[in-house]
Amino acid sequence: YRKTISHQYPLPPGPKKLPIVGNLFDVPKSGRVWLEYAELSRRYKSDIIHLGALGNSIVILNSARIANELLDKRSSIYSSRPFTVMLGELTGWGSVFAFRPNDDLWKAQRKIMNQAMPSGDSQRFHPMLIRVTQDLLRDLPHFDILESLHTWAAVLIMDATYGFNTEEAKAYLPTARVATESVVIAGTPGAFYVDQFPILKYLPEWFPGAGFKRKAREWSDMRSKMTEEPFRLTKERVAMGTARPSLASIALEQMDHDQDLVKQEEVIKASSVAAYGGGSDTTVTALQSFIWAMLMNPDVQTKAQHELDQVLGVGNLPSFNEEASLPYITAVVRETLRFNPVAPIAVPHQLTEDDIYEGFFLPKGSVIVPNVWSMLYSVEDYPQPHLFNPSRFLDANGNINPKIKDPAASTFGFGRRICPGRSIALASFWIAVASILSCYSIEPEPGEHGEPNKPQTDPGLSLLNQVPPFKCRFVPRSKELELFLSLNSS
Ligand code: HEM
């Protein structure tokens, strides 16, 4: 029957396949793979593209309409994850639900995160987000931008996940940075040959060209440390009754003592480390893109600050209560997520049954790559997509226009795999954007010849669309805020 269907319906269009290797050489190996995938759509005049390499079937979805049709509406068969040797096996992330197939463990781990971070409701985290963001305001003028942002993200996630205080969270930063680096690099399709030729995993570490095995071991050690240590500490605190409420502590307190406790702990542990793996570099990337966008678009910055000054009065910091009165700030948040999508190919899904879509045969086991970048650069949805223009999200009265698609509909992924941290991510991003703009003017750092330092351009292969490192100045906008932040520094 399968043979009949696959003969009756063609695969989606794509580059011609060579014998045996198929499209191996068409699978992009460069940094910005989403641009090459978008180009395939233009070349083959189709928003759904097929690549086949060494027996693997890859389907690229280059429009929001098709992504919604397949990943949202048919999510029961489009919600697994491809297994990867480098990330899943050698680095060990395969035990964590973000990279698991859609099995019972995935379900159990995801349920814990959904309970701790309910979608559409980030209110419980607001006081913590305000406090942590004020620390960020203190750090920005004095430390490297990326260092400040990583500290901010680590502190807020370790607080939400384990109930750690700032100093405790900071102590884990070096381990966490290496552990999450492994996710964004090893998780990128095509980054390591061992994923295409699994037999390479048997090479000994010392073998020429087997450096990937040494790297995988280092990453695995850090992942394991990051999984075990903060969990152990939280468990001790729960036992002593001193734990602050967090994802891990609440789940530990709710364990069913008639069931296998060790198994339940393993589930909580993995769900907790998924929060760090999924939430740190993504949030950092979003905020780094925002700072860069403000540097490049001073007119937008001025307009946003004008709105803040009108609503809050100069010298005051925003709270979540003012969110509805600050539509231009919300528009800046949306435009940043659109203009520089954090995860431009999201995280690939896997199809678990044969499927037919618009007359094309999509084979079971296909890796499904949603090209979020293409969706957010659609000329129909966002005219002149290459312009950074927050006003595109506003109506004639300056309010958020519900007719313009919110980039959050694709930037956090799709269907049953949609990012479970999206509420806390959006809340933390919004408050950081509003607070930074209230407090500082973001200005170019004069370079050696009086020129602003421009970022370099090659980002390297990564699941994330990271802006290369750049420098700028955070110039305080009011004496009152400077004083407030220095008086409240810990
Ligand atoms: C701007 C910030 C963020 C962006 C852009 C983002 C984006 C994404 C995307 C695109 C996916 C893949 C969805 C799919 O497969 O269709 C994802 C999954 C995930 N995200 Fe986020 N994320 C962000 C922040 C966070 C935060 C703060 C957390 C946790 C606190 C988090 C935890 C996760 C987890 C655990 C998954 C895996 C879900 C699964 O496989 O079932 N993310 N995220």
Residue range 124-138, pLDDT digits in tens = 999 999 999 999 999
Q: At 185, is the pLDDT very low, low, confident or very high (cuts 50, 70, 90)?
A: confident
- CA 145 to ligand 1 centroid distance, Å: 23
pLDDT computed for residue 236 by the predictor = 97
pLDDT computed for residue 449 by the predictor = 58
Ligand 1 atom, smallest distance to 81 CA: 40
Boundaries of every domain in the chain: 2-487
pLDDT computed for residue 458 by the predictor = 47
pLDDT in tens, 3-59: 666 678 999 999 887 777 677 767 766 568 899 899 999 999 999 999 987 778 999
The gap from C-alpha 45 to its chain's centroid, in whole angstroms, comes to: 29
Q: Within 10 A of 395 (CB to CB), how many other CB atoms are there?
A: 13
Ligand 1 pocket check for 417: Cβ under 6 Å: yes
pLDDT computed for residue 253 by the predictor = 95
Q: At 461, is the pLDDT very low, low, confident or very high (cuts 50, 70, 90)?
A: low
Q: Are 231 and 267 contacting, i.e. CB atoms less than 8 angstroms apart? A: no
Ligand 1 pocket check for 425: Cβ under 6 Å: yes
Q: Which residue has a Cα nearest atom 18 of ligand 1? A: 419
Ligand 1 pocket check for 413: Cβ under 6 Å: yes
Residue 473 confidence (pLDDT) above 70: yes
Predicted-complex ipTM score: 0.99
- CA 279 to ligand 1 centroid distance, Å: 7
Ligand 1 pocket check for 338: Cβ under 6 Å: no
Mean pLDDT to the nearest integer, 68-84: 96
The pTM (predicted TM-score) of the whole model is 0.93
Q: In Å, what is the CA distance from 13 to each residue of 43, 100, 158?
A: 10, 29, 45
Q: At 194, is the pLDDT very low, low, confident or very high (cuts 50, 70, 90)?
A: confident
pLDDT computed for residue 191 by the predictor = 78
Ligand 1 pocket check for 286: Cβ under 6 Å: yes
pLDDT computed for residue 176 by the predictor = 87
Q: In Å, what is the CA distance from 23 to each residue of 10, 15, 360?
A: 16, 7, 18
Ligand 1 atom, smallest distance to 428 CA: 27
Q: At 338, is the pLDDT very low, low, confident or very high (cuts 50, 70, 90)?
A: very high
CA distance 95 to 269: 10
Mean pLDDT to the nearest integer, 98-109: 95
Query: Of the ranges 50-54, 249-253, 339-343, 346-350, which one carries the lowest mean pLDDT score?
Result: 50-54
Residue 439 annotated as binding? no
Choosing among 1.10.630.10, 3.40.50.20, 1.20.1050.140, 3.40.1390.20, the CATH entry for 2-487 is: 1.10.630.10
- CA 418 to ligand 1 centroid distance, Å: 7
CA distance 346 to 366: 16
Residue 282 confidence (pLDDT) above 70: yes
